[in-house]
Chain A
């Protein structure tokens, strides 16, 4: 290996990519997109509040008034369930967030002819005069059921609040019917607040969700950059072939040096991009996020260890996938031809996302341990685990070793395909042909199935 030459390739890859407009657009735009997404989410959360006009047909004849009263009470307390603790907590005085709660406008209609009323109400719902209508029917209530009609039946907040309010008033009724004092109802309504404390070797700290948010942001960032940079490696290899520069370069640089230089160069571009993003985030996003939530509670505090693990597992995963993408690109002349095989690393990366909820649920369970050691999902999964909780050191070491070992093997494999593939023009080779290239030893002929030119 002649590192001087490798460095020349690294330098070219790095400088040429850093100079492109695409790099700067991605570098500047992605933080703003993230920020934009956050704003949209907050906006959606706000919109989930607002007025709800609900018509109630109360066939029991006595539930409407308590329901209206209960909903009004919930509204006043910020749409939350009563807490076991008094509403005030030391660090964060909890006020009903403005604009986020639902304002209920209830209207009672006479029971009358139920089918006729339903038909009228259906029209009103469709005409958007009311949001929904609710039927409180004694027979249904006996079966613990209440009917709710609306154009949208996925407004969980609305439905949950209604259900909770109805539960509440029914409970009061039952308590009253048994002749128990009404305070019993309040006692039964209380819910406990489970406060989670994350235990690590460095101490114990209350986890309010922000750490998990940060871990997930980094997780998805890593996920998308594997795609982005893996794909860039693939395109770079194909471009060298399709522009016919490769043979000129190969006359001066060994194929393995060119391959390594390319992968390192593009990897450095990735690290540069992360660095730029973190600068943007520090100066722009974090204050903006803080302002959005008007609380410091939700601003992700990113521990240094998370950053260190992020860089470590990004590099592990990047080299792994970049090797795969190199092998996939080398035999082909156009992106389209390579597309089919590019599904392989894509599926590997996506599978990590399919598994992550299971890992989040139980970060030290069997599934989590398996997929954080399985080389093709390990970089993403092990990173997620290290940021969710304590992971035994041996597992981290094993994971890194497994990924590194697999990468070395794959790089060897990719190098074999690469040195033959880059000189192959013409018809798209078949997979058996490509695999045959791997078997030829370096001193021997990398005998392709047909003449190269």
Chain B
């Protein structure tokens, strides 16, 4: 039982509109898994199906090794995209309630909540009603509620949307801590920069279909296959004219060079050193957005449709 979550051939449509189409992926335990895609791609529907809130039309989903059940439900912390709180409840009562429906006793909940209060600067607000709290404070309460039962798996739908920079930093810190304990995090976002910094693995969904999945580092390596970054004193045309160069692009005072298949990096560099002053060269670290755009192009989807 090494996978936290497994989806195989899951489909779901709303009327004639396919929300998720034949989606399969696995989330191994202990990693941060990013479910990426533009708005309306089917991320929330996928997450709701994992949470057993919506049932798939076809396909199998297992959570912690079996179809979602009581036990699994109590071991998952879920923060939906559409999240709110009972406005008239006092903060502490609210946290107790959300712990109780995860079958956490009041006493255990009290201890866990206590540990978070100072970190989140929430202590003075404990006996205030939720509606008296600012939006940022309410988000902190929601976040504590998500983890009050000490889950093994966190599922966060657009967790950073609406968070201010300070809370974003807090949540990121917590996610790192959570991961270092060997727990699993699945989160969805349409903001690639966030995913890039946090994820071990990503799954890219566009228009209800998976178009890419894998380990982020490996994907980056593959994307940069046959490419390198070189800074040298030469014009773009001169660089492009060097043997073995398939394409050359000027990026931030350097050139990103794609080599023709079969060309050896050493051969290219030797040629470059013979002709020009080479200031630096390195592997190219592609940004996630590049991988994303390449995948979209490969899948034959026009980029303007998904922007």
Could you say which residues of chain B place their CB within 8 Å of the CB of A244? 82-84
Could you say which residues of chain A place their CB within 8 Å of the CB of B17? 450-451
A8 to B102, CA, bound (A): 10
Could you say which residues of chain B place their CB within 8 Å of the CB of A8? 97, 100-101
A445 to B12, CA, bound (A): 7
Q: How many residues of A contact B (CB 8 A)?
A: 36
Could you say which residues of chain A place their CB within 8 Å of the CB of B83? 244-245, 247-248
A355 to B145, CA, bound (A): 51
Task: Give the interface segment out of B86-94, B110-118, B230-238, B259-267.
Answer: B86-94
A452 at interface, CB cutoff 8 A: yes
Quote the shortest CB–CB distance from A250 to chain B (angstroms).
6
Could you say which residues of chain A place their CB within 8 Å of the CB of B44? 452-453
Chain A: CB-nearest residue to B55: A445
0 or 1 for each of B4-20: is its CB under 8 Å from A? (1 = yes) = 00000000111101010
Q: Are B54 and A446 in contact (CB under 8 A)?
A: yes
A16 to B81, CA, bound (A): 26
Q: Are A243 and B70 in contact (CB under 8 A)?
A: no
Q: Are A247 and B53 in contact (CB under 8 A)?
A: yes
A252 to B149, CA, bound (A): 11
Could you say which residues of chain A place their CB within 8 Å of the CB of B248? none
A398 at interface, CB cutoff 8 A: no
A5, A11, A249, A253, most chain B CB atoms within 10 A: A5
Q: Are B56 and A445 in contact (CB under 8 A)?
A: yes
A224 to B76, CA, bound (A): 43
Q: Are B82 and A252 in contact (CB under 8 A)?
A: no
Could you say which residues of chain B place their CB within 8 Å of the CB of A198? none
Could you say which residues of chain A place their CB within 8 Å of the CB of B133? none
B103 at interface, CB cutoff 8 A: yes
B80 at interface, CB cutoff 8 A: yes
* 8 A Cβ contacts from B93-142 to A: 93, 97-98, 100-103, 142
* 8 A Cβ contacts from A252-284 to B: 252-253
Chain A: CB-nearest residue to B157: A247
A392 at interface, CB cutoff 8 A: no
Interface residues of A: mostly helix, strand, loop or mixed? loop
B45, B78, B79, B101, most chain A CB atoms within 10 A: B101
A9 to B44, CA, bound (A): 26
Quote the shortest CB–CB distance from B301 to chain A (angstroms).
19
0 or 1 for each of A179-219: is its CB under 8 Å from B? (1 = yes) = 00000000000000000000000000000000000000000
Q: Are A447 and B14 in contact (CB under 8 A)?
A: yes
A392 to B79, CA, bound (A): 56
**Known: A423-B53, A445-B12, A447-B15. Is A243-B76 also a contact (CB below 8 A)?**
no
**Known: A444-B55, A445-B56. Is A245-B85 also a contact (CB below 8 A)?**
yes
**Known: A16-B89, A423-B53. Is A251-B82 also a contact (CB below 8 A)?**
no
Quote the shortest CB–CB distance from B133 to chain A (angstroms).
13
A227 at interface, CB cutoff 8 A: no
Chain B: CB-nearest residue to A249: B101
Q: Are B19 and A451 in contact (CB under 8 A)?
A: yes
Q: Are A450 and B57 in contact (CB under 8 A)?
A: no
A449 at interface, CB cutoff 8 A: yes
B195 at interface, CB cutoff 8 A: no
Quote the shortest CB–CB distance from B187 to chain A (angstroms).
15
**Known: A5-B101, A8-B97, A9-B101. Is A250-B53 also a contact (CB below 8 A)?**
yes
B213 at interface, CB cutoff 8 A: no
* 8 A Cβ contacts from B177-198 to A: none
Q: Are A453 and B81 in contact (CB under 8 A)?
A: yes
A161 to B13, CA, bound (A): 78
The 4 lowest CB-CB distance pairs between A and B, nearest first, are A244-B84, A8-B100, A251-B78, A252-B101
Identify 4 new A-B residue pairs, CB closer than 8 A, beyond the known A251-B73, A448-B14.
A243-B86, A248-B98, A451-B14, A453-B82
Chosen A-B contacts, 23 in total, with CB atoms closer than 8 Å, are: A12-B89, A12-B93, A16-B89, A16-B93, A20-B88, A245-B83, A245-B84, A245-B85, A245-B86, A247-B80, A248-B79, A248-B98, A250-B53, A251-B53, A251-B73, A251-B78, A252-B102, A253-B101, A425-B82, A445-B13, A446-B54, A452-B14, A453-B44
